[in-house]
Structure 1
Amino acid sequence: MLARTLARPFRVLALESSADDTCAAIVDASRRVWSNVVEPQNHLHQALGGIQPMVALLAHQRKMPNVVRRALTEAKLEMADIDGVAFTRGPGLPGCLSVCLNAAKTLAAANNKPLVGVHHMQAHTLTPHLTLESPPSFPFLSLLVSGGHTMIVLVNSVKDFRVLCNTVDRSIGATIDRVVTLLNIPWTEKGPGPGLEKFCAEPAPEDLGPPPKYDPPSPMPGKLAFSYAGLHSWVERTVSAAGGVENVNRHALARAFQNAAFAQLETKLQLVLRAHGHAVRHVVVSGGVASNTLLRQQLKSSVRGPIEFIFPEPALCTDNAAMIAWASMHRFLAGDHDNYDIHPLPTWSLDELNNPPQ
């Protein structure tokens, strides 16, 4: 991180609305988190079976002004105390991205502040550099597992990312959402993914005897690519063949699905480590799915050798604006700002981080 001489550390107000959480945070260059406000929308989307873009967009529009006000109030600051404004530029849902973009641009322009648009997955990857006294040294690997992405990335610096393994179809998070809906698994207040984790962990009838046998597929064996569409289709076929969800053992099927979903992450990570493990000491696992306790345990036990796993605290695995603020900091301190006419990038590869599509 570039040094800068200030009477106080540089302060960033950051906004995030790429999916279904409306977020604002204030973070400074000394890594102090002054405030970190997250307003989820789970109660709006559960009855609809997943995130509905228009519902999410309208909720962001309602919530964003109060979220920004809360972030300033909790920090006991005003816009005059803010040095820069950051926001999630992409990737994400187009309409949802427009809310944090327009709010950030307006705040920056009205208060004559510099502006930086941030790559959402870059922010997830750099979270440990905000939260840890001894963050992972470059280069390190990042396993990004969320509702929109499933990938393994080689992180050479705060702005140099190389995608080594990506999904060819659907992300693990989106697949979990669909399977939770298909099996009528209750959400928790934190969403469908935690709902699956809780459902799989609770006692079930088959725990008293031999469980039903379900045999999920292992997609694309030996290849550096993820695929979760087939696993979702397998659950659908299993339910259909039984004549409906009421005729399957929901706990056994959910556990088989969760184990297969996580096993694919383990297998692909092992393939990457064979090729790049000599050059790295750390694997950062982040994104909403990374908050799953079973996944954390299985990843740690699946990899041998001098590799250390780093998991951000669960509250910072899911979407938040504190990570957006921190991911923007190196650009603010270097004087590298965006123009006020910047546009959102719903599709934006980490490989194109420094040369975003026009």
Structure 2
Amino acid sequence: MRYVTLLRTRLAISPITRSLHHGYSRRLTVLALESSADDTCAAVVTSDRKILSNVVINQQAFLEEYGGIHPFVALHAHQRNMPGAVQRALREANITIGEVDGIAFTRGPGIPGCLSVCGNAARTLAAAVNKPLVGVHHMQAHALTPFLTSPADALPTFPFLTLLVSGGHTLLLLATSPTAFRILATSLDESIGNAFDKVAKLLQIPYSGRAPGAALERFCTSGPAVGDEDIPEIHMPRPMRGRLAFSYTGLHSTVERFLDARRGEIDERTKLGVARSFQKAAVGQLEDKLVLGMRECAQKGIRVRHLVVSGGVASNSFLRERLRACLDTESPDERVELVFPPPHLCTDNAAMIGWAAMDRFLAGDTDPYSIESRPKWSLEELEGQGELRQGA
């Protein structure tokens, strides 16, 4: 069966080898743009895994003012920031737009208005300088980032599991090729990143220039050590027990009810206890579903050797520690490697967009300038789009 064949595929040919195979006598250089949520990003990457520039302009001041992403405000910030981001990316890469071989952009999923900024900029630039264009699935780019950042002798091998955890998504995937993903579990309500942001706002944790979720993580590391009797532990629900599905609305609602019952008046030790209890439960749910996913793969004879974790929440150090312990407990006899991109490439960035587009540029499988954004776009729809670019 084709599905079984895909399970056995490996990324056996390097990008530079593929470039020679397709008639390129030099490395390809791609300008990539990203604006799917609250970061305005531009980057230049090459087919031999070099990041020549990676510009990220965040909107932290607006996030703190509005308590999260405000779509209209984010749209206008992207419109202001994108020209400068592109100019800076080219300058830092020491190239001109004429020296770029192709232009990539985030096609979806994401906030519609925000997506339109990188989409319009990429289409216009590509048409103006007569360069090929590729629209990229944002979550595919997150999943493939380790193929850009990991040492050449430590790349993930297909099939592997992927946890994509961000402000917009909570997904557990089985990746069987660069464009074949099976969704094992997704959130039935809000994402883990959104829940982190909401709890940070409820607890009135200062952002201090960080994203709300990152501010909450930092707050959890403050004060007395975990286990101190003076720090209360708040009971948190563990939804969807035994089911391959995520649910985070109940966790942040529990925090909201706890605060409402006290009219928001809690001391710093209680606030720390609430924050730590929430973080423990949020990450614990990832552990629970990961175990279920690993067991389902094992029952079907699918041998998984890597877990790739990406998305903004993947930079959380507590999450990293817990997932490592979870894998060791579930697979004590055969180590499952835990793969994280560098923290600055876990959050939204354009370097991952350029890399995810590289195989398509090399294969000559590009998009028309009329291509439209897709705010809602399932990863499973990518399967079968172009056999040549699979690298099998």
- Between 298-307 and 146-155, report the one with greater CA deviation: 298-307
- Between 336-345 and 240-249, report the one with greater CA deviation: 240-249
Query: How many angstroms apart in 1 are the aligned matches of 2:312 and 2:55?
Result: 17
Query: How many angstroms apart in 1 are the aligned matches of 2:227 and 2:127?
Result: 60
Alignment coverage as a number of residue pairs: 356
Q: Is the 8 A contact 1:290 1:314 kept in 2?
A: yes
1:294 is matched with which residue?
Answer: 318
2:80 is matched with which residue?
Answer: 62
The DSSP-based 3-state class of the residue aligned with 1:20 is coil
Q: Does 1:270 align with 2:291?
A: yes
TM-score (norm 1): 0.96
The DSSP-based 3-state class of the residue aligned with 1:279 is coil
Q: Is the 8 A contact 1:188 1:194 kept in 2?
A: no
- The 1:114/1:137 distance shift into structure 2, 3 A limit, reads same
| Counterpart mapping for 1:223-234 below 5 A | 223-234=243-254
Deviation at 1:276, TM superposition (A): 1.3
Deviation at 1:54, TM superposition (A): 0.7
Which of 37, 42, 54 is the matching residue for 1:24? 42
- Between 299-308 and 178-187, report the one with greater CA deviation: 299-308
Query: How many angstroms apart in 1 are the aligned matches of 2:357 and 2:256?
Result: 42
Gaps of 5+ in 1: none
- Between 138-147 and 346-355, report the one with greater CA deviation: 346-355
**What is the CA RMSD across the aligned residues, in angstroms?**
1.6
2:366 is matched with which residue?
Answer: 337
- Between 132-141 and 60-69, report the one with greater CA deviation: 132-141
1:72 is matched with which residue?
Answer: 90
- Between 203-212 and 263-272, report the one with greater CA deviation: 203-212
- Between 52-61 and 204-213, report the one with greater CA deviation: 204-213
- Residue type of the alignment partner of 1:270: V
| Counterpart mapping for 1:99-248 below 5 A | 99-132=117-150, 133=152, 134-204=154-224, 209-246=229-266
Query: How many angstroms apart in 1 are the aligned matches of 2:219 and 2:84?
Result: 34
Query: How many angstroms apart in 2 are the aligned matches of 1:245 and 1:273?
Result: 43
- Residue type of the alignment partner of 2:366: H
Q: Does 1:98 align with 2:127?
A: no
% of aligned pairs identical? 55
Query: How many angstroms apart in 1 are the aligned matches of 2:188 and 2:182?
Result: 17
- The 1:205/1:231 distance shift into structure 2, 3 A limit, reads same
- The 1:290/1:205 distance shift into structure 2, 3 A limit, reads closer
Q: Is the 8 A contact 1:204 1:251 kept in 2?
A: no
Query: How many angstroms apart in 2 are the aligned matches of 1:315 and 1:324?
Result: 14
Deviation at 1:355, TM superposition (A): 8.0
- Between 269-278 and 179-188, report the one with greater CA deviation: 269-278
Query: How many angstroms apart in 2 are the aligned matches of 1:243 and 1:182?
Result: 12
TM-score (norm 2): 0.88
Which of 257, 269, 277 is the matching residue for 1:256? 277
Q: Is the 8 A contact 1:206 1:212 kept in 2?
A: no
Deviation at 1:243, TM superposition (A): 2.2
The DSSP-based 3-state class of the residue aligned with 2:173 is strand
Q: Does 1:280 align with 2:300?
A: no
- The 1:205/1:353 distance shift into structure 2, 3 A limit, reads closer
Query: How many angstroms apart in 2 are the aligned matches of 1:204 and 1:174?
Result: 27
Partner deviation per Cα, 1:235-279 (whole Å, 9 max, x = no partner): 111111122244681100010000000000001001101111542
- Residue type of the alignment partner of 1:320: N
Deviation at 1:44, TM superposition (A): 1.8
Query: How many angstroms apart in 1 are the aligned matches of 2:226 and 2:29?
Result: 54
Deviation at 1:73, TM superposition (A): 0.4
- Residue type of the alignment partner of 2:371: I
Gaps of 5+ in 2: 1-14, 386-392
